[in-house]
Amino acid sequence: MTINVRDAVEADLPAIVDIYNQSIPDGWSTADTQPIAVAERVEWFRKHNPQKRPLWAAEMDGQIVAWIGLTSFYGGRPAYDATAEVSLYVAAAYRGRGIGRELKKRMIAHCPALGVTTLLSMYFDHNGATRHLNEQLGFQPLGHLTEIAMVNGQKRGLMIGALRIPPLNG
Ligand SMILES: CC(C)(COP(=O)(O)OP(=O)(O)OC[C@H]1O[C@@H](n2cnc3c(N)ncnc32)[C@H](O)[C@@H]1OP(=O)(O)O)[C@@H](O)C(=O)NCCC(=O)NCCS
């Protein structure tokens, strides 16, 4: 498998949003229930930066097929500086080929250089793919907020998984 992973640029936003929107109908990935517009994600995009909160686009077959990004936790309050939340979305046609695992592994490996020592993964408790992938990569389930979302007419909960990552000079 050859994927080219690079920092996303704003021109990638339509592809990034399209991949995100592909996950909405399944009802197991995101709390959005309707497709979002590119304009709604511009502010989110601009909060990323390669030094601390990267957003990567993964290319294959000449197109963007997945993305992974880190965002600050709890509004970016300073005490949480070394904690980041990871988001990962693979285009529907490219899932199950190891792309998700490869991207998450690469981001984990990059965390010490970013100063991130706790990586959080928030996912619905019925998102079996993310649970499985997180278990493979060593995330521990730290919290389970039961029945806090209504998705496609069903009550769903939110899992909080965490991976502790040794600092560069720790
Ligand atoms: C979750 C997601 C990122 C995984 O990426 P992927 O490229 O499809 O996963 P991989 O091919 O790297 O598979 C990693 C492992 O998860 C397993 N897996 C993949 N899809 C699965 C599913 N639906 N249910 C259970 N396990 C699954 C794979 O079998 C593999 O485990 P294995 O090595 O034991 O066989 C991808 O399915 C996706 O984008 N889903 C929609 C968006 C989403 O849910 N993002 C997370 C939001 S919190």
Question: Tell me, what CATH number does 22's domain have?
Answer: 3.40.630.30
Confidence of residue 169 (pLDDT cuts 50, 70, 90): confident
- Give the separation between CA 42 and CA 51, rounded to whole angstroms: 19
127 lines ligand 1 (CB under 6 A): yes
Range of the domain at 38: 4-164
Calculate the average pLDDT of the chain: 96
SS (H, E, C) 100-118: HHHHHHHHHHHHHHHCCCE
Q: Does residue 155 lie in a domain region?
A: yes
Domain count within the chain: 1
- Give the separation between CA 49 and CA 47, rounded to whole angstroms: 7
Q: Does residue 169 lie in a domain region?
A: no
Q: Does residue 23 lie in a domain region?
A: yes
Q: Does residue 170 lie in a domain region?
A: no
Q: In the block, which residue shows the tokens 């502790």?
A: 164
Which residues, in sequence order, are CB contacts of 108 under 8 Å at separation 6+? 119, 137, 163, 165
- Give the separation between CA 68 and CA 42, rounded to whole angstroms: 16
Q: Does residue 45 lie in a domain region?
A: yes
**Whose alpha carbon is nearest atom 42 of ligand 1?**
89
Rg over CA atoms, the chain: 15
Q: Does residue 154 lie in a domain region?
A: yes
Give the model's pLDDT for residue 73: 96
Q: Which of 19, 130, 131, 160 to mutate to test the pocket of ligand 1 (most atoms within 8 A of CB)?
A: 130
pLDDT digits (tens, 9 = 90+) for 104-140: 999 999 999 999 999 999 999 999 999 999 999 999 9
Give the model's pLDDT for residue 154: 93
Give the model's pLDDT for residue 170: 67
Q: Does residue 48 lie in a domain region?
A: yes
| Cβ–Cβ < 8 Å for 70, 84 | yes
129 lines ligand 1 (CB under 6 A): yes
Give the model's pLDDT for residue 1: 76
pLDDT digits (tens, 9 = 90+) for 4-61: 999 999 999 999 999 999 999 989 899 999 999 999 999 999 999 999 999 999 999 9
Q: Does residue 91 lie in a domain region?
A: yes
91 lines ligand 1 (CB under 6 A): no
